[in-house]
Amino acid sequence: MAYEVTATRKRPQRFEDLVGQEFVVSTLKNAIEQGRIAHAYLFSGPRGVGKTTSARLLAKALNCVHGPTAEPCGECDNCKGIAKGSSLDVIEIDGASNTGVNDVRVIKEEVMFPPTSSRYKIYIIDEGHMLSQSAFNALLKTIEEPPEYVVFIFATTETQKVPATIRSRCQQFNFQLIPLETIKGLLAQAASEMGIEAEDEALFWIAKESTGSMRDAYTLFDQVVAFSNGKITLAQIREKLGLVGVDRINAIMQDVLSKNNGEALSKVQALLAKGVSIDQIIKDFTEYFRSLLLIRKGVKSENVIGEQISSFPADIINAYNEEQLEAALDMFLNLYRDIRYSLNPRFELELAISKLSKLRYVASTASVIEQLARLKNDLINGTITPLNPSLADQKSVEPEKGPAVSTVSASSVAAPVEEKPVEVVAPEPEPAPAPAAPANNWNVEDIKDLLPQGTQKVENTEDGLVLTFNNKFFYQMAYRNLVNVREKIQQRTSPDLNVVLSYSENIMDTPATAPVEAAPVVEPEPEPAPVSEPVPEPVQAPIEAAPAEPIPSEEPTAVEEPVETEEPEVVDACACEKPQGPAKMSEEQRNLLNDLMLCFDGREER
């Protein structure tokens, strides 16, 4: 008898033998028993989970001589013909090679003829998503209203590629991946039937590599049986297929934890020398850190982890936290993508192994901020919170009080006590002379070094010390630092002395207060002269004698007028409004001043 692969030999012949698809089996069996046979079905799901097998079982159930029945006999001619693929009334069509409208036209013509020897004429279209859009459109009318003896069954791995108009006319069944333990059990059963001894770890690895596909598991099982000589072991699988394995990665990680990077890199070189590809090493390291991460998160199911938990040493599991394992997993995922464009993939792998030695010190920004906040709270509350994750559940430790604290503080303060005179000498000489100086025993020379830049005139009046400027820029700078200037001058002179600022553009033309009296005396004299009745006498009188008569009456007015004009120019320290100059500035001067202000402190004049 010719050799038959395990996947074909173990193909289910009854609904009860279909594993991992309990929902599909129960629904189809109930529909057949109740006589609710649809005219079109759509089976979708991953590869190797039983879509085509379910379509054949449904065809058997409908065309069995004892049917329609949920349990076909498998002995009648119809059942045997369907199992062998020789039935004339069950037509299997490969959707990948029959994609055109002409192929669909043939189906539409055949549909008009009833089945030859069976109850139903069943069309099984495998890989149905490969049909063209025109082919799908040609089938719409036939699928929607076929003859009562025609049943369509579509099988596809990509449901999204099937038009919605087709899906709406079919009953849809979604097939799921088969659990790892179920695949492992079926592999053990197949090995027992073939008289082959198999290790539990080896079968677990085969089931894991199948990724939920029963057909893939049987195919890999046949390959392993071919080189195992009647006994399947994990060691043989690693050696023949060029795998790294958890044990070898554990040895490398032990060297990394002990900071023996040279030995870790040597073991990686040994793997490469044995023919293990760089891609395979990166894949195994990626799966390794994924398994560690799931274990750290509390996952106990080996189906999810993909490895037996007992394969990982406890010291490696506890050496890294979740954040560090996520960083390692991300590093190897990126490495697998980067080696495609790398100068030398081997260099990339060696660099990744070298980086693993610093994995224990990896921390994200969020964790660093969290630890800083914890330290801040400890300093405020006087407690000590352990940062070690293994001690995180313990309560905060209160610091000891008593002699231990006093001795520590004494020893810590002993060193800086000698440096105290250095700190006292600097600040105290400056405030010392302040109280010694009397309130009125000072002159301008004493505060000359404290005056703001651009000060043109200093007057000690009843209102306080008046600092006059003739440059608006220097005036505004002094106005902004008025508080500091006042404090320094008060320390040097008197605490009660008030400092005010004044702005005048003509200060250079009027150097003193004396000309302020002389200027108005000469100019207002011609005005009062014509007011008096004897006009000719004062006009002919000499100019020197004329001031003698109006001086007593007009002197107060002449003195008050300049005082009134200059008083608004004196700005108090508490004033909020900016003083205005006697003359308006041109637009060019104003722009220049704004540029200077912007260069000084980044703000424009408003």
The CATH number that applies at residue 307 is: 1.20.272.10
Contacts of 453 (CB under 8 A, 6+ apart): 474, 477, 478
Q: Mean pLDDT across the stretch 283-307?
A: 89
Residues 488 and 340 in one domain: no
Average pLDDT, stretch 566-574? Answer: 42
Share of the chain above pLDDT 90, in %: 27
Domain identity same for 157 and 232: no
More confident residue, 469 or 548: 469
E strands, 429-503, in order? 455-461, 464-469, 499-503
> Does residue 134 carry a pLDDT above 60?
yes
Identify the bridge partners of residue 503 per DSSP, sorted by sequence position.
469
**Each residue of 84-119: pLDDT tens digit?**
888 889 999 888 887 788 888 888 888 888 888 889
Cα–Cα distances (Å) from 549 to 127, 146, 181, 524, 535, in that order, read 127, 134, 128, 13, 14
Position 428 in a domain: no
- Contact status, residue 49 vs residue 214, Cβ threshold 8 Å: yes
Query: Is residue 421 in a domain?
Result: no
Strand pairing report for 90-94 and 40-44: unpaired
In a domain, 285, yes or no: yes
Measure the CA–CA gap between 54 and 153, rounded to whole angstroms.
Answer: 10
pLDDT of 392 strictly over 80 = no
- The number of C-alpha atoms within 13 Å of 232 and in the hemisphere containing its C-beta is 26
Q: What is the mean pLDDT of residues 425-440?
A: 45
Residue 475's pLDDT is 85
Out of 75-84, 204-213, 553-562, least confident range: 553-562
Rounded Cα distance between 225 and 249, Å, is 26
CA angle 417, 421, 423 (to 5 degrees): 95
Across the range 535-541, mean pLDDT stands at 41
Give me the number of domains the chain comprises: 4
CATH number, domain containing residue 143: 3.40.50.300
Tell me, what's the pLDDT at 224? 92
Structural domain of 287: 246-361
Q: Over the Cα atoms of the chain, what is R_g?
A: 50
119 and 159 fall within a common domain: yes
Count of helix runs (H) and strand runs (E) in the chain: 29, 11
- Determine the pLDDT at residue 508: 54
| Mean pLDDT (whole number) for 523-531 | 45
Same domain, 555 and 470: yes
Q: Which residue has the tokens 């630890």?
A: 371
pLDDT over threshold 50, residue 566 = no
Query: 83 and 19, same structural domain?
Result: yes
Kindly write down the DSSP assignment for every residue of 73-98, as one continuous string.
-S-SHHHHHHHHT--TTEEEEETTT-
Per-residue model confidence (pLDDT) at position 387: 55
Which of 241, 274, 292 terminates a domain? The answer is 241
Last residue of a domain, one of 241, 269, 293: 241
Question: What CATH number does the domain containing 234 carry?
Answer: 1.10.8.60
pLDDT band at 584 (very low <50, low <70, confident <90, very high): low
Residue 596: its pLDDT value, please? 62
**207-221, 322-336, 378-392, 512-526: least confident range:** 512-526
Neighbours of 437 (CB within 10 A): 14
CA distance 359 to 443: 71
User: In the predicted model, is pLDDT for residue 174 greater than 90?
Assistant: yes
**Of the candidates 152, 154, 153, 108, which has an alpha carbon nearest to the alpha carbon of residue 129?**
154
Does residue 553 register a pLDDT over 80? no
Given a cut of 50, whether residue 35 has pLDDT beyond it is yes
Whether residues 202 and 129 share a domain: the answer is no
The values of phi and psi at residue 334, to 5°, are -70, -35
For residues 203 and 103, membership in a common domain is answered with: no
Give residue 429's pLDDT. 47
Which of the two residues, 439 and 290, has the higher pLDDT score?
290
Give the pLDDT of residue 249: 92
304 contact partners, CB below 8 Å, separation of at least 6: 294
pLDDT at 214: 93
Average pLDDT of the chain?
Answer: 77
Q: Are residues 490 and 592 in the same domain?
A: yes
Q: How many residues are given for the chain?
A: 606
Q: How much is the pLDDT for 525?
A: 47
**Is residue 122's pLDDT more than 90?**
yes
Helices (H), 145-233: 164-167, 180-193, 200-209, 214-228
The CA distance from 247 to 313, in Å, is 10
Burial class (CB in 10 A: 0-12, 13-18, 19+), 380: exposed
Residue 164 domain flag:
yes
- Listed residues 154, 174, 194: the one ending a domain: 174
User: What is the pLDDT averaged over residues 163-171?
Assistant: 91
Per the model's pLDDT, the better-predicted residue between 167 and 464 turns out to be 167
Handedness of CA 61, 63, 66, 67 (dihedral sign): positive
Q: Is residue 427 part of a domain?
A: no
Residue 204, domain member (yes or no): yes
* pLDDT attached to residue 306: 80
What per-residue confidence (pLDDT) applies to 325?
92
Buried b (16+ CB within 10 A) or exposed e, 151-168: bbbbbbbebeebeeebbe
Looking at per-residue pLDDT, the higher value among 196 and 378 belongs to 196
Query: Which residue matches tokens 């205005």?
Result: 580
Mean pLDDT, residues 509-518 taken together: 37
Same domain membership, residue 48 and residue 136: yes
